[in-house]
Amino acid sequence: MSEYLSVLIFAVTGAAIVLFTFFISKLIRPHNPYPEKGVTYECAEDAIGDSWIRFNPRFYIFALIFVIFDVEVIFLFPWAVAFGELGLFALVEMVIFILILFFGLFYAWKKGVLKWV
Protein backbone atom coordinates (compact mmCIF):
# COMPACT_ATOMS: atom_id res chain seq x y z
CA MET A 1 0.00 0.00 0.00
CA SER A 2 2.82 2.37 0.83
CA GLU A 3 3.90 2.16 -2.80
CA TYR A 4 0.63 3.68 -3.87
CA LEU A 5 0.84 6.17 -1.02
CA SER A 6 4.03 7.58 -2.47
CA VAL A 7 2.34 7.88 -5.86
CA LEU A 8 -0.40 9.85 -4.16
CA ILE A 9 2.12 12.08 -2.39
CA PHE A 10 3.79 12.57 -5.73
CA ALA A 11 0.57 13.64 -7.41
CA VAL A 12 -0.32 16.00 -4.58
CA THR A 13 3.15 17.55 -4.62
CA GLY A 14 2.99 18.04 -8.35
CA ALA A 15 -0.41 19.72 -8.15
CA ALA A 16 0.75 21.84 -5.24
CA ILE A 17 3.78 23.10 -7.14
CA VAL A 18 1.68 24.09 -10.13
CA LEU A 19 -0.91 25.81 -7.98
CA PHE A 20 1.80 27.53 -6.00
CA THR A 21 3.40 29.00 -9.11
CA PHE A 22 -0.05 30.08 -10.31
CA PHE A 23 -0.55 31.78 -6.97
CA ILE A 24 2.82 33.58 -7.06
CA SER A 25 2.18 34.64 -10.60
CA LYS A 26 -1.25 35.96 -9.60
CA LEU A 27 0.40 38.16 -7.01
CA ILE A 28 2.91 39.75 -9.30
CA ARG A 29 1.29 39.89 -12.72
CA PRO A 30 -0.80 42.79 -14.03
CA HIS A 31 -4.53 42.38 -14.46
CA ASN A 32 -6.04 44.68 -17.02
CA PRO A 33 -8.66 42.99 -19.17
CA TYR A 34 -10.63 44.91 -21.74
CA PRO A 35 -13.05 43.62 -24.36
CA GLU A 36 -10.56 43.47 -27.21
CA LYS A 37 -8.30 41.27 -25.14
CA GLY A 38 -11.04 38.78 -24.45
CA VAL A 39 -11.78 38.25 -28.11
CA THR A 40 -11.05 34.81 -29.49
CA TYR A 41 -7.98 34.73 -31.69
CA GLU A 42 -8.78 34.19 -35.31
CA CYS A 43 -5.92 35.73 -37.26
CA ALA A 44 -6.71 39.21 -35.94
CA GLU A 45 -10.16 39.19 -37.50
CA ASP A 46 -13.42 39.16 -35.57
CA ALA A 47 -14.34 35.52 -34.95
CA ILE A 48 -17.03 34.24 -37.29
CA GLY A 49 -19.81 32.09 -35.93
CA ASP A 50 -19.70 29.69 -33.05
CA SER A 51 -16.41 28.29 -31.94
CA TRP A 52 -17.74 24.82 -31.35
CA ILE A 53 -17.85 23.95 -35.00
CA ARG A 54 -18.82 20.63 -36.50
CA PHE A 55 -15.86 18.48 -37.26
CA ASN A 56 -15.30 15.37 -39.29
CA PRO A 57 -17.30 12.42 -37.89
CA ARG A 58 -14.38 10.21 -38.87
CA PHE A 59 -12.82 11.12 -35.55
CA TYR A 60 -15.60 9.19 -33.83
CA ILE A 61 -15.05 6.14 -35.96
CA PHE A 62 -11.38 6.14 -35.11
CA ALA A 63 -12.25 6.50 -31.46
CA LEU A 64 -14.60 3.51 -31.72
CA ILE A 65 -12.00 1.32 -33.38
CA PHE A 66 -9.50 2.48 -30.80
CA VAL A 67 -11.69 1.35 -27.92
CA ILE A 68 -11.90 -2.16 -29.33
CA PHE A 69 -8.18 -2.51 -29.84
CA ASP A 70 -7.20 -0.78 -26.64
CA VAL A 71 -9.13 -3.40 -24.72
CA GLU A 72 -7.21 -6.00 -26.70
CA VAL A 73 -3.90 -4.41 -25.76
CA ILE A 74 -4.82 -4.25 -22.10
CA PHE A 75 -5.80 -7.89 -22.32
CA LEU A 76 -2.37 -8.69 -23.74
CA PHE A 77 -0.54 -7.31 -20.70
CA PRO A 78 -1.52 -9.97 -18.15
CA TRP A 79 -1.24 -12.58 -20.87
CA ALA A 80 2.34 -11.55 -21.56
CA VAL A 81 3.26 -11.63 -17.88
CA ALA A 82 1.91 -15.12 -17.41
CA PHE A 83 3.04 -16.37 -20.81
CA GLY A 84 6.03 -18.25 -19.44
CA GLU A 85 3.76 -20.52 -17.44
CA LEU A 86 0.91 -20.81 -19.91
CA GLY A 87 2.87 -21.98 -22.91
CA LEU A 88 1.52 -23.11 -26.25
CA PHE A 89 -2.11 -23.14 -25.19
CA ALA A 90 -2.03 -19.43 -24.41
CA LEU A 91 -0.28 -18.65 -27.67
CA VAL A 92 -2.90 -20.45 -29.72
CA GLU A 93 -5.75 -18.82 -27.83
CA MET A 94 -4.23 -15.39 -28.23
CA VAL A 95 -3.48 -15.88 -31.90
CA ILE A 96 -7.13 -16.76 -32.47
CA PHE A 97 -8.23 -13.75 -30.46
CA ILE A 98 -5.93 -11.40 -32.31
CA LEU A 99 -6.83 -12.89 -35.67
CA ILE A 100 -10.50 -12.24 -35.04
CA LEU A 101 -9.79 -8.65 -34.10
CA PHE A 102 -7.41 -8.29 -37.00
CA PHE A 103 -10.16 -9.46 -39.35
CA GLY A 104 -12.16 -6.57 -37.97
CA LEU A 105 -9.34 -4.13 -38.68
CA PHE A 106 -8.87 -5.59 -42.13
CA TYR A 107 -12.57 -5.23 -42.86
CA ALA A 108 -12.59 -1.63 -41.69
CA TRP A 109 -9.46 -0.99 -43.72
CA LYS A 110 -10.90 -2.41 -46.92
CA LYS A 111 -14.20 -0.63 -46.39
CA GLY A 112 -12.29 2.63 -46.42
CA VAL A 113 -12.94 3.48 -42.80
CA LEU A 114 -9.28 4.18 -42.18
CA LYS A 115 -9.04 6.44 -45.18
CA TRP A 116 -8.80 10.08 -44.25
CA VAL A 117 -10.46 12.07 -46.96
Minimum distance, C-beta of residue 2 to other proteins, in the bound complex (Å): 7
Contact 72, 98 (CB under 8 A): yes
Number of residues engaging other proteins in binding (CB under 8 A): 78
Instruction: Output the CA–CA distances (angstroms, integers) from residue 115 to 86, 102, 110, in the order listed.
Output: 38, 17, 9
Among 31, 45, 46, 57, binds other proteins (CB under 8 A): 31
Q: Is residue 96 near other proteins by the rule CB under 8 A?
A: no
Q: Of residues 35-64, which lie at the interface with other proteins (CB under 8 A)?
A: 35, 37-43, 47, 51-53, 55, 59, 62-63
Q: Of residues 9-28, which lie at the interface with other proteins (CB under 8 A)?
A: 9-11, 13-15, 17-19, 21-22, 24-26, 28
Minimum distance, C-beta of residue 96 to other proteins, in the bound complex (Å): 11
Contact 108, 65 (CB under 8 A): yes
Q: Is residue 95 near other proteins by the rule CB under 8 A?
A: yes
Under 8 Å CB-to-CB from 47, ≥6 apart: which residues? 39, 40
Q: How far apart are CA 112 and CA 64, in angstroms?
A: 15
